[in-house]
Structure 1
């Protein structure tokens, strides 16, 4: 059973995944728990910013990255070996006589009261390689069996936390990129996070709010109850697509508005939920865009006739795509509601769509003269 101090340290490790500034005090705690005089997270690629140490005054960090890395015995040893995954200690490849002659120990570690070191290497397929290093005190160069077992266990938690931190950085970078893209779009658009909450909405979206679509408790929903359910389902499908059905690139529904002018809502998956090779979760995101079909839509009846629709079908589809409810579209071309529904079923079959929203989106993408 782990002690309270170890359990607290594990909690601190995972808090570091959210805040890099916590690594210094956390590494200091880990060093004391493991009987060391210092701890560090060292990247194998020096240009990486994945550098953290336990020292409150980072003189040792500056010395290492300025010039002492050239004498790092692990770097020399690994130059001729495959990068390890897991434990590696200098006692396995350096004798006491070699340590006594090595400037890395005599001019660097000894200066800070340290002797030998133990490292735990981790290879992240989507990020830099790094090691969790513990510096042993002078006079106690070798760890006990209990210290080694605890170091290996804590090392795995450190590696998971670093991996989570890297995943968070990547997600933040992606979210920033999607935000920039969203801001440049002329249509009302929002980026939706994995929990259904709005990460960002552009100015066009903010101006559109009020007529059928509202922003409540961080989420976009509809004042029309049936449309609210449809929009919720739209986002749910985009954020959590069924694993056994290959989803299309986008989904859409028609949102009814108090003004009588419906909105076409599209949800485009940006990231899907999954796990990478290191069992790190990836958070899904989606882009939600709205379009209000208007009577200024170009005439596409000729294009629809080329797709196999007859004249009545093409005329009805044109009116529906203009944003008219089916009853009004039927009146506009002089047919009954019942006949319009029959025509619409035929159109769905011919164009392989199953809703007015999909039909409108299909028509909007048709080439026009």
Structure 2
């Protein structure tokens, strides 16, 4: 029987929590210590392998997803017991006859030279995860004594996952905030299409469209919703790339048009335990039209003529051009601008343009 170096494995898991690039190697260390042939972490919320797995299971994991085996995985019947007991193995829910008849064992696992597993179940802030350690046919099943040793890894696993999740959420939020600094509305979505984080610019565009219960974006227009969902799914499954992002124009229930670019977070191992999969970039709404004029008048007490000039300044850039577009003389425009400065508290045209753009996004 193998004797696991729990202290060493605990340190490796903690290193992975601090540096996401270490997760594949740390899981490889866990697998080797347990006499396994690879290990991978599964999120129970999606039934799909996460970005965290040892390198020797890359081919098997890809086949698991592509072949739809996550929908035919016999081992999922053991998940409730694994979460309750901490550890579960094949012998807990199946027998030799069932294994001989099972397509999952014979057509999938055998194809990749695997058969036996030990699953370690734990939760991090309510989310359920299972660390699946694989063994080949020759390596044989996990013994009861080995499963008792594996239980000692549950606490270090949960602690590492919790720390990794906290740090990853900080990275996700930092990504959204950084895009806000350059005037880019953005939303980060998880693998289920739920909003993980949204910056203030995007919040101003679509806040009323986000279901507070499901945290999903509900456009209200069926055709646009289908287009948006397809766009997001393609990104979440890694079918898009920053150099060639998928783009779609959609309309919401209020008739507003949104141009959305979806980008796959190919570096999603940087965000372990968050489910971050896709970045949606929204085209900033141009502050034009009667509705935005009314908003300016209500916000700052501008007259209709002053509101028209203020909007023209945002788009035109110069007072002379704004005067021309509004069919007023330059001197009249200067008079309006002085009144606008007084009412908004601004002193320069650039400050005024930035203020109006922020208010009307």
The structure with more helix, counted as a fraction of residues: 2
TM-score (structure 2 length as normaliser): 0.43
Q: Which has the higher contact order (CA 8 A, sep 6+)?
A: 2
TM-score (structure 1 length as normaliser): 0.42
